[in-house]
Amino acid sequence: MKIAVVTDSTSDLTSTELKENPNITVIPLPVIIDEKTYLDKVEIDAEKVFELQRNGSSFPKTSQPALGELLELFDKLHDEGYEAIIAIPLTSAISGFYNSLVRIAKDYPKYNLHPFDSGMTVRSMGMMVLAAAKMAQNGLDVDEIFKRLEKMRDSMGVLFVVDDLQNLVHGGRLSNASAFIGTMLNIKPLLTFDKKTYEIKSFDKVRSLKRAIKKSEDLAFKQIADSPYKDKLRFSIYNSNDEKQANEVADKFEEMYPNATVDRQTFDTIVATHLGEKSLGITWILDPNKMDLN
């Protein structure tokens, strides 16, 4: 069966990875600023968003791709001979895109569309997309691909450190009162994705960014040591306009896990919009290169 894989621009796939996997299609998500719409990674990136905000622009809003554009894409893939489409968008807990895909799958059965809730976003989701594409190329059916994707989802871990609480307020993740108190006390929240609901949640608060990052490193090392997949993980260290800070963390991960891949990433536009500048992320997931994809 010829299977296409569709994802969105928060998957952080490289141009090389897309060239090596022609059955992957990336849909850029719309970002709306001052009533003007930009396409993520095509017309705008996180650096441009922060520049606009410093110059007084309104807080960015994100949207789903238009239904007509999605149907046009699925028609194109169908006409190219794809007998099934696996769609892996950012988690349903922070976007309605997944639920829209579920409705399309129900209303347009000819596409044989199969949405998979990644439970995540950024490069961890991208690793699932790459794995799904390779499994499809190797002849696995949708059910077998989903079984392996579920295993990858179970292996995920993520820790975020946020420097400026205002972006969380604008994004509806934190009250103004909490932000005021947090700013006065120089409190930095530690965030993660809930394993059951896939929602972003705050699980601790630490004074000073330096201490928050150190605590995140220690927590990550502990969680990884307890993981049944610890020898097969791939790591990503994310920065938001502070590459030096993130590189220091990435250096420690390369030293701690010399046989693993450590990707050094910049937060995509959508995630950076909610976390703000100087945020840092540590994520891990099963490395597709260390899995059985046949």
Tell me how far apart the alpha carbons of residues 120 and 126 are, in angstroms, rounded to a whole number: 10
Q: What is the mean pLDDT of residues 194-216?
A: 83
Q: Which pLDDT band, with edges at 50, 70 and 90, does 175 fall under?
A: very low
φ, ψ dihedrals at 21, nearest 5°: -130, 75
Cα–chain center distance at 88? 11
Alpha-carbon span 183 to 79, nearest angstrom: 54
Average pLDDT over every residue of 97-120: 96
| Residues linked to residue 233 through DSSP beta bridges, in sequence order | 286
Mean predicted confidence (pLDDT) in 156-174: 69
Q: Are 65 and 97 in contact (CB under 8 A)?
A: yes
Residue 86 has phi, psi (to 5 degrees) of -100, 125
Please, where are the H alpha helices in the chain?
A: 15-20, 46-54, 67-79, 97-107, 122-137, 142-155, 166-170, 176-184, 209-225, 243-256, 269-275
pLDDT the model gives residue 174 = 44
Residue 99: burial class (beta carbons within 10 Å; 0-12, 13-18, 19+): middle
Please provide the distance, in angstroms rounded to a whole number, between the alpha carbons at the two ends of the chain: 14
Domain ranges of the chain: 3-154, 155-290
Are 43 and 29 in contact by the 8 Å Cβ rule? The answer is no
Per-residue confidence (pLDDT) for residue 173, from 0 to 100 = 44
Report, as an integer, the average pLDDT of 265-269.
Answer: 88
pLDDT of residue 178: 42
At 199 the pLDDT is: 74
Residue 133 has pLDDT above 90, yes or no: yes
State whether residue 91 is helix, strand or coil.
coil
Q: What is the pLDDT of residue 89?
A: 96
The amino acid that residue 117 corresponds to is D
CATH of span 155-290: 3.30.1180.10
> Residue 19: pLDDT above 90?
yes
CB-based contact 149:140 (threshold 8 Å): no
Q: 200 versus 213: which is more confidently predicted? A: 213
Rounded CA separation 22/13 (Å): 12
Question: Edge-to-edge strand order for the sheet containing 280-286?
Answer: 200-207, 187-193, 157-161, 280-286, 233-239, 262-266
133's tokens: 């594409």
Per-residue pLDDT at 165: 58
pLDDT in tens, 21-68: 999 999 999 999 998 999 999 999 888 888 888 888 888 888 899 999
pLDDT for 181 equals: 38
What pLDDT is recorded for position 136?
A: 98
How far apart CA 153 and CA 144 sit, in angstroms, is 14
Distance CA(139)–CA(134), nearest Å, equals 9
Residue entry with tokens 């992957």: 24
Options 3.40.50.10170, 3.40.50.720, 3.20.20.140, 3.90.1150.10; which CATH number does 3-154 get? 3.40.50.10170
